[in-house]
């Protein structure tokens, strides 16, 4: 199995960002529900799951957008370099014709 390093880096970055966000979100939601007098474990679990899902989707969207922009920037730079090399090669071949 071949590992895509770019995807692995994105996954590791997303997980590293997710852990502290999920912990803080979980803690705050739990404290708020207890302060509102909610003691039913099923309700607490359902609300936390809903909140964590929304936060996770937003987080993942942001991480994916950042990595996509970075990929596009690298693609644009490599295209510019390729065009520049092609232009240089054409100029060299034109010079060699005249020499």
Of all helices (H) and strands (E), which one includes residue 94?
Answer: helix 41-98
pTM over 0.85: no
Cβ-contact 47, 29 below 8 angstroms: yes
pLDDT in tens, 1-49: 899 888 899 999 999 999 999 999 999 999 999 999 999 999 999 999 9
Residue 54 lies in a domain: yes
pLDDT in tens, 48-66: 999 999 999 999 999 999 9
Range(s) of the domain holding residue 68: 5-73
Q: Give the C-alpha separation, 93 to 85, whole Å.
A: 12
Q: How many domains does the chain have?
A: 1
Cβ-contact 87, 65 below 8 angstroms: no
Q: What angle do CA 4, 10, 12 make, to 5 degrees?
A: 100
pLDDT of 82 strictly over 70: no
Residue 78 lies in a domain: no
Residue 44 lies in a domain: yes
pLDDT (0 to 100) of residue 74: 76
Residue 13 lies in a domain: yes
Residue 65 lies in a domain: yes
Residue 29 lies in a domain: yes
Q: Give the C-alpha separation, 62 to 56, whole Å.
A: 10
């Amino acid at each position: 199995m071949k590992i895509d390093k770019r995807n692995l880096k994105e996954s590791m970055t997303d997980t590293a960002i997710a852990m502290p966000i999920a912990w803080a979100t979980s803690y705050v939601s739990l404290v708020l529900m207890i302060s509102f007098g909610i003691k039913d474990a099923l309700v607490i679990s359902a609300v936390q799951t809903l909140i964590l899902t929304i936060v996770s989707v937003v987080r993942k969207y942001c991480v994916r957008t950042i990595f996509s922009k970075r990929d596009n920037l690298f693609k644009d730079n490599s295209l510019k370099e390729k065009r520049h090399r092609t232009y240089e090669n054409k100029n060299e071949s034109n010079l060699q014709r005249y020499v």
